[in-house]
Structure 1
Amino acid sequence: MSARARRSGGDDQVDLTQGTAQSGIEFVASGSGSAERRGSGGSQVVVKVDAAAVDSVADTIKEYKDAVDALESGLSTQITDHELEALTRSTLRHVLFCNSFKEGGIISRNEVIQHINAASTAQRKGVPPLVIAKVQLALATLFGINMVELTKPPARKTGNDGAGTKYYALKSMIPKDLYQCTVGTFESTPTVSQKGLLGVIIALIKVSGGTIVEEELWRHLQSLGVEKGTKHPIFEAIPSDVVDEFVRRRYLKVEKMPSMDKDTRLYAVGENALHEISEDMVTQYVESELKE
C-alpha cells in the first residue's frame, strides 16, 4: 500500500510511507482536522487530516535526522558502518521487545545504554547517544513511532537536586484521522475509557493545587461512581489497578509524605501526561467544566 500526504489546495506532497501496490491511501492535509473518505473505483481512499499534525511528524523526523548528523560528525571514536548498523538494529529490536513485554511501559535510558555496550565489541564514548538517535530516526521513519525521551525528577525526600532519571516512552506519530482510516477508530481501543478516568484525575490534581492526597482522590472518584476496589463495568478492571498502571507508565506520579500515623500518598501529574497534555489544555478543560 502506498501513502502520501499533500496539502489541500497545494501541490506540495510528503511521502509518509512507501510501497509498490497500485491502490493506496492519500492523505489530504487541511486545517479543519476532520476526516474525509472518498473512494476512487474502490481502490483509493482520501483522508483529510490536520496539516499541523502532518507538519509535526515531519518536524520530529527532521529533528532526529539533524541529531544523527550532528552526532556522526562529532564522533571521535572509530567504528565501522557495519558495526554501527548492527548496533542500531539490535537496539531497535530491544526497544520494541521491552515496549511489548512491559505493555507500553517506560524504558530506562540506562537500560538502553547497557544493551548497546553489551552488544558492542568495546565501550566507546559517543557511540550510545548516536545509536539511540539512529533508533529514534528509524522508529519514526519506518513505524511512525516517536521514541520520546522524558525525565523523572528526583524524589523530594532524597534532597537530590540532580537532573533526574531519563527514560523513553514509545508513542504513535500517526494523526488521529489517519489512524482511524488505516487501523481503526480510537474509540475501539480498550484504553480510551481509562484515559477518560486519567483526564478526571488530572483535573482533580489541578484544582487541588498540583497534588492530591490519595484518600481525597478516591473520595471524589467515589462520588462519580468509581469505587477503589470494585471492578468497574466500563473500565473492565478494578479502578485502583488502573490508577497503579497510570503510575507505572508515569502518567501519574506518587510521593510519600510522612505523617503522624502513616505515610501519606500524594498524587501528581507525571511526565508522560505532561508531554501529551499541556498545562494550558488542563487549565482550559478545568475552567470549562467549572463554568458548566
Structure 2
Amino acid sequence: MTQRRRLSNTQNSPQSRQQPGTLMAQEEDDDSTFTQPSTSQVQRGLEKLTPAQVEQKTAEVVQYFLVKDQKKIPIRRADLVKHVVKDYRNIYPEIIKRAERTFDQVFGLKLVEIDTKSHSYILINKMEPVVGASIINPTNPKMGLLFVILSIIFMKGGLVRENLIWSTLKKLRVDPGEKHEEFGDVRKVVTDEFVRQRYLEYVRIPHTEPVEHEFRWGQRADKEVSKAKILEFMGQLHEQDPQSWSQQYREAHSTPSSSQASTSSQR
C-alpha cells in the first residue's frame, strides 16, 4: 500500500506534469499494442459481422468523436480502440472510412489526423473556416482570445516569447496574473487548455534562468485557422493594405490551409 501511494504521489507531482516528452512517450506506448489490419484481415472480419453490427459500431465511433470534440482536445486512436472499437479492431479501417463519410455527408465535418506518431485526430468544419466571422464572435470569448494570440505569433514571424504575449494581453485589459470574469485563470487557459487542444505549442527556451517559454502555432491551428483571414483582420484593424506586410502576405497565400479556408469562405 505504501509503495502504491508513493507511485500515485509521484504521478501527480508538478514535476511529472511538466514533462511533455515523457507524456508523449507514454501515449505512443499506449498505441503500440494496436496494429493496423491489412485489407484481407478487414475483409475476413467483415464476413463474420452483419451490416447492422458494422453500422452500429460506426455510429458509436461518430458519437464518441462528436462528444470528445466539444472540448477541442485531439482524440487518440489508442483511446478510440480501447473505449469504443474494442472487439471490432480487426475492421478498424472500415469503421473509420465509414465514420469519415458520415462526418462529411451528414455533419459537414472533416476528420483529420494531425499527429501520425500518436495517431491523433481532430474534426474541422468544412463549411466555414474557424477564423473569420465565427472566431471573433463575442458569444465565444475564448476563441476571441485565441485569435488575438495566434495573430500576434503570426505577425511576429511564427515564434514569440511568452512575456510579449502577456504584455500584449495586459494592454487589452486581460491580465494573466488576475482572475478574468470571462476566462477565469488566463494563464492556465493559454498555457494548458489551448495547448491540450493543440491550438498552441508552449515550449521551454533552453539555457534560460529564470526559465522562459515561447509560443508557436499548434497542429490544430495550422489545420483550422486561415492566415489570410488574420491578415485581413489586421488590415482592417490598422487601416492598412494586407500586402503591406509582405512576408506575412507571402506566407498566408502560399500555404494550402490559407487558400482552402479562403475558398470555403467564398462559397
TM band (smaller chain): 0.5 to 0.7
**Number of the residue aligned with 2:184:** 237
Q: 2:224 aligns with which of 251, 273, 276?
A: 276
The aligned amino acid for 1:137 is R
**Aligned-CA RMSD value:** 3.3
Q: Which residue of 2 aligns with 1:202?
A: 150
Partners of 2:225 and 2:108 in 1: how far apart?
18
State the alpha-carbon separation in 2 of the partners of residues 87 and 108 from structure 1.
21
- Residue 63 of structure 2 is matched in structure 1 by 96
TM-score, length-scaled by structure 1: 0.55
Quickly say closer, same or farther: Cα 1:201–1:134, change in 2 above 3 A: same
Alignment of 1:1-292 (within 5 A): 75-77=39-41, 78=44, 79-80=46-47, 82=49, 85-87=52-54, 89-90=56-57, 92-94=59-61, 96-97=63-64, 99-100=66-67, 103-114=71-82, 118-120=86-88, 124=90, 127-142=91-106, 144=107, 146-152=109-115, 164-172=117-125, 192-233=140-181, 235-243=182-190, 244-291=192-239
- Deviation string 1:244-273 (CA, Å, 9 cap, x unpaired) is 322111111222222231442211112222
1:252 and 1:268 in contact (8 A); partners too: yes
Matched to 1:89, the amino acid is Q
Shift of 1:164: 4.1
Q: Distance in 2 between matches of 1:221 and 1:270?
A: 19
One-letter amino acid of the structure 1 residue matched with residue 175 of structure 2: E
Structure 2: which 5+ residue stretches go unaligned?
A: 1-37, 241-267
Over 3 Å counting, the alpha-carbon distance change for 1:236 and 1:115 in structure 2 is closer
- TM-score (ref. length: structure 2): 0.59
- What is the DSSP-based 3-state SS (H/G/I as helix, E as strand, rest coil) of the residue aligned with 2:215? strand
Indicate if the aligned counterparts of 1:252 and 1:270 stay in contact, CA closer than 8 A. yes
Cα deviations across residues 31-80 of structure 1 (Å, max 9, x unaligned)?
A: xxxxxxxxxxxxxxxxxxxxxxxxxxxxxxxxxxxxxxxxxxx9323122
Provide the rounded CA distance (Å) in 2 between the counterparts of 1:254 and 1:91. 35
Q: Which has the higher contact order (CA 8 A, sep 6+)?
A: 2
The sequence identity of aligned pairs, in percent, is: 22
Matches of 1:198 and 1:212, distance apart in 2: 14
SS at match of 1:149: strand
Mapped partners of 1:240, 1:110: distance in 2: 30
- Structure 1, unpaired ranges of 5+: 1-73, 153-162, 177-184
Pick closer, same or farther for the CA change 1:200–1:186 going to 2, 3 Å: closer
CA 87–255 in structure 1, closer or farther in 2 if over 3 Å, else same: farther
On the 8 A contact 1:99/1:107 being kept in 2, the answer is no
Structure 2 contact 74–121 (Cα < 8 Å) conserved: yes
Answer with 1 or 2: which has the greater Rg.
1
Partner SS, residue 180 of structure 2: coil
* Separation of aligned partners in 2, 1:253 and 1:260: 18
Q: What is the CA-CA distance between 1:175 and the residue it aligns to?
A: 6.0
What is the SS of the residue equivalent to 2:184? coil
The answer to whether the 8 Å contact 2:112/2:124 transfers is no
Count of matched residue pairs? 194
- The CA distance in 1 between the partners of 2:50 and 2:72, in whole Å, is 29
From the superposition, tell whether residues 291 and 262 of structure 1 become closer, same or farther in structure 2 (CA, over 3 Å): same
Structure showing the higher strand proportion among its residues: 1
Q: Pick the structure with more helix per residue.
A: 2
